[in-house]
């Protein structure tokens, strides 16, 4: 079945999105209205709902104009995210302010991808709260050697003991969810390439439950990753039972954005409803404003 026909058959988010936005009187109401006005009315009538992809990067040959044009073409509302952290494009409050000024008034969400475990030391609470939402992952850890390791970089990955690595990874995920004031846990259950063939063995039910429990107790949403095709359906079903909300994310590396195929498959298989999906919190209720940074 083509992705568009799947989209037509699923109930996702327009009425909930608009109602919640107007109820909270958020500034992004006008951004959605602007996006809707530029999108053909026939497209809105044909899809009957709004799907939100909160993890779009302006990388490679993808410009903001191209992203927004594709958003209108496909009927998927986008969240454009900036990489913020050590050795990334944005490293301080000034960088945040300059980026947000460029994005002002655009018909999209604007999110912060908080990189590494030191990101809370680089930015003020006031600057972080200017984003519509904040997310992070557990792809940068402090490994068994005490070194900062980016798990997607093979030259930085050292795993002499697979089980010990999983103990460390799960503990790191719990610490992130308990201590870092984020809205969404992205790239969930990611493993480095050297371990990916053993995913189902290494991610035991007990380990998955610990991740779900930590996510639920902190009110954090979980991303359904189109590029990684993670997490798997059983994990989503368990997380749904725990009351966790979900987002859709592509995490693109260029202009090949796809049509949300994996997310739509998961939404269908797990019978997710609009009420299961994440929406940005209003000013004053964002995690950075309510939880702040916790001391580990």
Alpha carbon distance 96, 122 (integer Å): 11
Average pLDDT rounded to a whole number, residues 28-39: 56
Does residue 182 carry a pLDDT above 90? yes
pLDDT tens per residue across span 203-242 = 999 999 999 999 999 999 999 999 999 999 999 999 999 9
| Structural domain boundaries enclosing 89 | 3-138+178-190+220-230+239-290
Domain with residue 245: its CATH number is 3.20.20
Q: Which tokens sit at 208?
A: 């998955």
- Decide which of 4 and 214 is more confident: 214
Q: Note whether residue 24 is domain-resident.
A: yes
Alpha carbon distance 63, 242 (integer Å): 38
pLDDT tens per residue across span 50-81 = 789 999 999 999 999 999 999 988 889 999 99
Q: Which tokens sit at 234?
A: 């059983």
Number of structural domains found in the chain:
1
pLDDT tens per residue across span 87-132 = 999 999 999 999 999 999 999 999 999 999 999 999 999 999 999 9
Q: Note whether residue 51 is domain-resident.
A: yes
The closest alpha carbon to 251, from 109, 102, 81, belongs to 81
Alpha carbon distance 122, 287 (integer Å): 17
pLDDT tens per residue across span 148-178 = 999 999 999 999 999 999 999 999 999 999 9
- Mark 146-180 as b/e (b = at least 16 C-beta within 10 Å): eeebbbeeeeebebeeeeebbebbbebbbbbbebb
Give the relative orientation of helices 162-179 and 205-217 as an angle to the nearest 10 degrees: 10
Q: Note whether residue 164 is domain-resident.
A: no
Work out the mean pLDDT of the chain and round it to a whole number: 87
């Amino acid at each position: 079945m083509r992705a568009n026909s799947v989209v037509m058959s699923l109930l996702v988010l327009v009425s909930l999105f608009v109602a919640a936005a107007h109820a909270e009187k958020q500034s992004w109401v006008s951004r959605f209205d602007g996006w809707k006005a530029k999108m053909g009315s026939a497209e809105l009538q044909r899809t009957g709902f709004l799907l939100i992809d909160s993890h779009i990067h302006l990388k490679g040959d993808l410009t903001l104009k191209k992203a927004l044009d594709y958003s209108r073409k496909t009927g998927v509302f986008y969240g454009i995210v900036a990489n913020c952290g050590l050795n990334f494009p944005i490293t301080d409050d000034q960088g945040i302010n300059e980026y947000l000024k460029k994005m002002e008034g655009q018909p999209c969400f604007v999110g912060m991808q908080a990189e590494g475990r030191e990101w809370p030391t680089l930015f003020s609470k006031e600057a972080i709260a200017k984003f519509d939402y904040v997310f992070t992952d557990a792809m940068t850890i402090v490994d068994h050697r005490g070194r900062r390791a980016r798990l997607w970089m093979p030259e930085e990955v050292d795993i002499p003991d697979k089980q010990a690595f999983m103990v460390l990874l799960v503990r790191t995920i719990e610490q992130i969810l308990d201590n870092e004031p984020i809205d969404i846990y992205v790239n969930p259950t990611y493993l480095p390439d050297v371990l990916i063939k053993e995913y189902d063995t290494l991610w035991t039910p007990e380990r998955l439950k610990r991740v779900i429990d930590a996510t639920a107790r902190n009110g954090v949403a979980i991303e359904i990753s189109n590029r990684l095709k993670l997490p798997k359906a059983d994990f989503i079903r368990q997380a749904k039972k725990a009351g966790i909300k979900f987002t859709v994310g592509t995490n693109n590396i260029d202009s090949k954005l796809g049509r949300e195929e994996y997310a739509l498959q998961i939404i269908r298989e797990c019978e997710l409803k609009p009420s299961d999906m994440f929406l940005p919190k209003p000013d004053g209720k964002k995690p950075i404003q309510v939880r702040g940074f916790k001391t580990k």
